[in-house]
Amino acid sequence: MSHVFISYSKKDRDYARRLADRLIERGFDVWIDDRIDYGDDWWRTIVRAIAAQRRLSPS
């Protein structure tokens, strides 16, 4: 299934999480920043996630 990278403003966090959950329910592989563990190099983690995606959509 398709890979989706969700980028969002912190004020839209709840909406982004609901969107991610619905996409996952429909079989999409979703990356959202709550997949970053405490202590991880967050910038490197995000850059790698973006590089792994096939398409990007502006927010």
* Residue 46 bridge partners (DSSP): none
Beta-carbon count within 10 A of 12 CB: 13
Query: Tokens standing for 28?
Result: 């999409």
Do 4 and 53 meet the contact criterion of CB atoms below 8 Å apart?
yes
Q: Which domain holds residue 32?
A: 3-52
Report the predicted TM-score, pTM, of the whole model to 2 decimal places.
0.67
Tens of pLDDT along 1-59?
Answer: 567 888 888 899 999 999 999 999 999 988 888 767 788 888 888 888 777 766 555 55
CA-only gyration radius of the chain, Å: 11
Count structural domains, the chain. 1
In a domain, 57, yes or no: no
Q: What pLDDT does 17 receive?
A: 95
Q: Is 31 exposed, middle or buried (0-12, 13-18, 19+ CB in 10 A)?
A: buried
In a domain, 20, yes or no: yes
In a domain, 7, yes or no: yes
Q: What pLDDT does 54 receive?
A: 60
